[in-house]
Amino acid sequence: MSVFHLIIFICFLLSISYLVFLTSASWCTPSAFPQQTTRQFEQRTDRFWEFQEESNIWVEVKLPFDLVSCVNDNCTKVGLIDQKSKTEEEHLANGKDVSNKTKNLKMREGDLTGLEENSYTVLPLRRRMSLTKMSDTSVWVTGESGSIYERFWNGVQWVIAPHDLQISAGRAVSVLIVNQTIFAISEEGNLYQMKLTDWVELKPAFNQSTNKEAEQSSVIQMKSGTVSYDGLRVYFCTKTGLLLELSEVEPPRWENHGRPPGADVAAIADMARIRTDLVYTISSTGDLYEYDKSSRPSWKKHLQSEETDKDGSLVPLQGCMIYGLSGDHSVSLFLLTKGGKLVERRLHQRKWKWITHGSPEDHHLTSITPLLEDELKERFFSLFLTTSTGSVFEYQIPKHLGTAQEDQISEAWQNHMHPPNAKAARGIPGLKFQLGRILFALDDGRLAELHLPGLGGQNSGPTNQFNRKKLSSKYIWSILDAPESEGWNGEYCTEERGPMNCIAGIKDEPNDSGNIRSLTRRRKGTKAQQDYLSLGTSRSRLVKASEEYRFPDNWINTSFRLRLVQAGVSFFIITEAGLIFEYLYAESVWLWLRHDHSTPMRGALGNYNGSVFFVDVYGTLLIRERSNNELAWVNCTAMRKGRQIIGGPPWDGMSGKLKVTAEDALFFVSKSGRLLQFSVALRKFKWKDCHNPPETKLACIIDQEVFRENIVFVVGRNGRLYQYNKVTELWHEHHQSQHLVLSRLPGTAMRPSFFSLTGSLFMLSEDGGLVEYHWNAWNGWNWVEHGTPSKDVTLVAPPSPCIKGNQLFLIGSDGNIYLRYMDQLIWRWKNCGFPQNGDGDTRDQTEMGANDRMQEVCMDNDPTANLNINLENPNDQNRKCDPKVAPTRPIPFSEDSVIFELRDGRLAEIQKVQDSKWVWQRIIGTPTSSCKGCYLTGQERRRFGGCCWSELEPLSCLDFSSPRLCRSFFRPPITL
């Protein structure tokens, strides 16, 4: 026998001996490995690949897939890979549960009662939302946008004061209040302390005895924090899994408690009320640990029982500690499992045990609202828990000795559901700031209060005295407006004397005229709940299918033919043939500049930071921008996830406000009727599909963030108004009467100032009337139909820009422009005609009807007196001039002037000379106009040597201008 065969034989004997030893061990200790004998294969994915030897590649297989074993051409099935079994939450998300089937059956049968309440859509996680109580009169909130604001009772009403971190700090995720000191944690993990009115970064500093990992304070990033019950210290868990303690603030005193052996600290579950140095934490794997620095070892692990292990490991989030549930010396810590069940870790008679309380049927619990100390004196205590679908449940447990079975009461789970047309944010605990009053963050960014009747609501301040015996056990909802959904403006809180004062509110007082300033108050009652609907709740549809609406061929060109680039300096015009011309004022000279492209254009959809966005005849989005000293085109549709588009925002921000941030984006409407977000800040171009409401495709954008920050208002092809919140990424439908159908044209936002929420959205109805959607602090949202200037005139073009917060131009079917303006709180019409209609109708009629008329005009009786131009000779043989106004969306040219297009292709500028008096200032000839009249002032003629616009060829650069002027049509871009 060779040496090789001898080695093989010895290895064979050793392997047999090892197998015999394992077999004998299993005979001797049958329960030594019970889990191995009963453990089953757990499938964790739905994607598997098979290697094909013929093609030498891996190919993904389709499930179910048979596992086949072949030996000597004898193949047998040995297993099956099937679709992964879904968790309870996934079943709810996809509507697989019995309740959802019942809902679908009711829908087919026409029973729509309670449809919204039976919705089982799993909500997304809102990781930046938090609620923190400072006092009974002050609640601090972090929103999903990363903003920080305080809801403060000033003695008269609730006001909202901003406390945002500086832009360089990024978004905030939580606020902590320790002994009247306010801390904030940013999304990057940095800790900030508020000193006076500024945020100052606070970096942890440890003494020499701390380990090297904690000494590197520059790399320590906070994840979350919890304040002790006495309010004197705060514990942090870091992103690396450490437990830190800040025991003193001035000067800061930090302690590093490390982490559990072989684990980390993912969340702080609770801190014992009796022992302030006792902390309960949850690891990222879902295990419960107890930290006691006075004992050895300091870290102890709480093992789970078989019963609780079936429900899954624990969710790393804040729990709720209750004392005296099973006796005077009992301690109960309530936590949630990853399976959405409520469990209790109870200490009674020096023994720990786990108790499973479960969850409501077909619901997945996601957060626990901690209790108030006053509630511990009641006969029973209530836990309020939010679900993954946005409902709030109350779990009642009586206070008496007994086992877990004895503690259960009939109907322990009470469903408080959620506010109308809104849902509680998933995974965000509520805040009990008074007995009978609980605040919840809503998924759409607003706040909601669940309170007992007569104890809460928007207009109810802190209540210190009440009779508990007379309190009702039925809770009601009140929705509270918040900047996350209503826009960030100064109207929430002011420094002026009055009810909105940020420090001390003063009740409304009569002014000099005897009127009471009631418009500055916040909204009464619960009317805010009816502001807008959740999608799917409105059943009436005047248009059977959105596809029935077809856009006119020239829809883009008439809606986006003109675009302002820089006020008083430059604007663009797109001709019907698709040519691009810019009207530019450079070095005291007005000139036309042509921008060539290989494909014809249809419209100019926006401008940002010196760049202009165009759409061509194929729906391609293109950017015209400066590249060094040259001009360049950028194809945005060719980028990843790019789309073909048909429309964009009507205006480019509020007049006088220059907003350039790291999150700036433009919104467009795709050809398929979806809302698209295109990020433009820092040239980090990126497309995002914001989808569309399920009932309809989109027709146009009414307003983008002019009326409400972070809100895009749109009109569907069914003629109804919707809004999209770019922070929460939610769609809502606004209430709208059945007879009102909006036109599919862009609209205009009107606000008296940037620091006011009061204002309106102006749109046209399908029958050519003016429609206003108004908001004020007292009445909320309201529809106002202004109708038409006269019975024989309809409105045919999108509204003009808002002028001074109370004036608006509309283009009539008769070729005249009409001014809609407010005079002494009354809306009036004024006919401003067109540049050459001296005999036109100049009557002014009020909103009450045509009989009440005033002889006010927009210009003098002699139409040439204030034009300062040489108007066309009526006897001219050239009959191609038509000075009536074309149905093209006008644009602003300055704060007090507007540019219109005439039917003959020329442009006309109207300018305000008094509060409501407008005069036609000039007519601007265009390179492609069919009218050959000369419209230069005498001064302009001398400047150009007697040359008229119509005598110039539409060259890329005019002959009398220098090449340098042709390259200077863009202002320099702003850098962050």
Q: Tell me: the pLDDT tens digits for 700-718?
A: 999 999 998 889 999 999 9
Residue among 722, 148, 131 nearest 483 (CA)? 148
Contact status, residue 668 vs residue 680, Cβ threshold 8 Å: no
Q: What is the pLDDT of residue 636?
A: 96
Give every CB contact of residue 681 below 8 A, 6+ residues apart in sequence.
660, 661, 662, 663, 664, 665, 976
Residue 697 token pair: 């495709």
Residue type present at position 888: T
Strands 331-336 and 447-451, sheet pairing: unpaired
> In the chain, what is the straight-line distance between the N-terminal and C-terminal CA atoms, in Å?
83
Q: What is the pLDDT of residue 44?
A: 63
- What's the CA gap between 721 and 282, in Å, rounded? 46
Contact status, residue 471 vs residue 436, Cβ threshold 8 Å: yes
- What's the CA gap between 842 and 884, in Å, rounded? 15
Q: What is the pLDDT of residue 692?
A: 94
**C-alpha dist (Å) from residue 52 to 8, 55, 58:** 34, 6, 6
- What's the CA gap between 854 and 409, in Å, rounded? 75
Q: What is the pLDDT of residue 860?
A: 36
Tell which phi-psi region holds residue 395, choosing left (phi > 0), alpha (psi between -120 and 50) or beta.
beta
- What's the CA gap between 523 and 533, in Å, rounded? 18
- What's the CA gap between 962 and 960, in Å, rounded? 7
Q: What is the pLDDT of residue 323?
A: 85
What is the DSSP secondary-structure string of 496-513?
SSSTTBSSS-----B-TT
Q: What is the pLDDT of residue 264?
A: 95
The owner of tokens 């832009």 is 167
Q: What is the 3-state secondary structure (H, E, C) of 521-563?
A: CCCCCCHHHHCEEECCCCCCCCCCCHHHCCCCCCHHHHHCCEE
Give every CB contact of residue 793 below 8 A, 6+ residues apart in sequence.
812, 813, 814, 816, 818
Q: What is the pLDDT of residue 874?
A: 43
- What's the CA gap between 867 and 115, in Å, rounded? 62
Residue among 609, 631, 625, 617 nearest 679 (CA)? 609
- What's the CA gap between 481 and 160, in Å, rounded? 10
Residue type present at position 163: H
Residue among 749, 765, 758 nearest 801 (CA)? 749
Q: Count CA atoms within 13 Å of residue 767 on its CB side.
A: 9
Contact status, residue 407 vs residue 358, Cβ threshold 8 Å: no
CA angle 231, 448, 380 (to 5 degrees): 60
Cα 223 vs. chain centroid, distance in angstroms?
A: 23
Contact status, residue 880 vs residue 930, Cβ threshold 8 Å: yes
Q: Is the peptide bond before 64 cis (omega within 30 degrees of 0)?
A: yes
**Ordered structural domains, the chain, with CATH:** 803-837+882-938 (2.40.10)
Segments in the chain below pLDDT 50: 18-38, 85-118, 210, 214-215, 217, 401, 403-407, 511-529, 537-546, 655-656, 837-857, 859-875, 877, 934-976
- What's the CA gap between 864 and 860, in Å, rounded? 9
Q: What is the pLDDT of residue 932?
A: 66
CA dihedral 49, 50, 53, 55 (to 10 degrees): -50
Q: For residue 106, give the 3-state DSSP assignment.
A: helix
Residue 607 token pair: 């401008």
Residue 713 token pair: 């208002």
Residue type present at position 298: S
* 385 sits in which H/E element: strand 380-387
- What's the CA gap between 268 and 289, in Å, rounded? 10
Q: What is the pLDDT of residue 118?
A: 42
Q: What is the pLDDT of residue 83?
A: 65
